[in-house]
Amino acid sequence: MKFALLCSTALVVMASVVHAPSVHAQSAKRARGRLASILDRGGKWTPADVSAVNHLLRAGESIHTKSPRGITVLMFASKVGDLSMLRAAIQGGVKVNARTAEAHSALWYVMSSRKTGSVRQLLDAGADPNLADEDGRTPLMMATHFKFREGIKLLLSRGANVGARNGKGHTALAYTDSHPGITLLLKRSAVVE
């Protein structure tokens, strides 16, 4: 009887060891959770977040990690202007035209932070300058809204459609707030409205 009890106890212990996730697997899952959690802040990132993401990526986290809302490392790097992280994400095969649940792309995200280097790298990697979000807003509309002249010039030079209309029927000109320099820049590029 003691022998049978001892054997069954040993089998239970062995079975729990075989089925228990490894410490490394648990650690990797927590790290992915931390990375996705940082990405999910969606534009409210701090310098500490940039350091944390760089640390997690150096520790072996996947450059392909996405937040629950679909925010990628590429979108994060674009927005914060971390060109080496952006380059690593592009070289690692992260899709430059990937979109969030709200249909925001990396190119759309970067317009509010006015990071010319990020815009240039994204466009060079094949980012679509006309990819609109769920409300029909294009990167050009966002660049215009944020008075990002260099972004506007880059987008126009890569084929951004000045005549594209959002869900309310407005073109990029509606986002200028009558800013004379930006209005002139857009009007020179196409006849709209």
Enter the DSSP assignment of 21. Answer: P
The pLDDT assigned to 187 comes to 75
In the predicted model, is pLDDT for residue 115 greater than 80?
A: yes
The pLDDT assigned to 84 comes to 93
Average pLDDT over the chain, rounded to an integer: 82
- Two tokens at 66? 């996405």
User: What CATH number labels 129-193?
Assistant: 1.25.40.20
- The CATH topology of domain 25-102 is 1.25.40
The pLDDT assigned to 177 comes to 74
The pLDDT assigned to 135 comes to 95
Residues of the chain with CATH 1.25.40.20: 129-193
The pLDDT assigned to 152 comes to 92
Cβ atoms of residues 30 and 61 within 8 Å: no
- Report how far residue 31's alpha carbon sits from residue 84's, in angstroms, rounded to the nearest whole number: 21
> How confident is the model over 164-168, as a mean pLDDT?
94
